[in-house]
Amino acid sequence: MDTNAATEDDVNAIKKLGEEFFAGVNTEDLARRMSTMDADAIIIPPDRPSIIGREEIRILSKTYSATYEEKCNLVYDEVETAGNWGFARATVTGTRIARSGGGVEKVSFRNLWIVKRQTDGKWKFWRIMFNHNPPQTS
């Protein structure tokens, strides 16, 4: 028996973590989003420096939310665990609108998340990488 195999409970908990984060995005609830982050979380965005630590993530998230209204949908492509570590590959699609005015912009991101089981047994985001999905061609 593989003791590191992903259990259904772990997979569901990791999926719920992402769902909770994007529920916070969609309702503009910064505290809800931040509750999903490990204290040592790092976001590695495309074409920008890494965002290191929960406080830096909170500040950036607050500024971003003041600039854009977002509505996002999350679809998981893969979730795995190995002991107290897990990863998820997911696709996020949706819209964002600049609060200063302008039209609706469609967004589509590929995500790779490394999650870490906390001492209380809950999963939190430890590393987040994402980039833009290539445009769909017909």
Select from 66, 71, 59 the least CA-distant residue to 100. 66
Beta strands in the chain (DSSP E): 37-44, 51-52, 68-82, 85-98, 104-117, 123-132
- Which domains does the chain carry? 8-132 (3.10.450.50)
Report percent pLDDT > 70 for the chain: 93
d(CA 20, CA 62): 17
Q: How much is the pLDDT for 38?
A: 97
Ramachandran area for residue 129 (φ above 0: left; ψ -120 to 50: alpha; else beta): beta
d(CA 41, CA 53): 5
Instruction: Give the pLDDT confidence of 22-50 residue by residue, as tens digits.
Output: 999 999 999 999 999 999 999 999 999 99
Average pLDDT over the chain reads 92
Q: How much is the pLDDT for 89?
A: 98
Mean pLDDT score, 47-71: 95
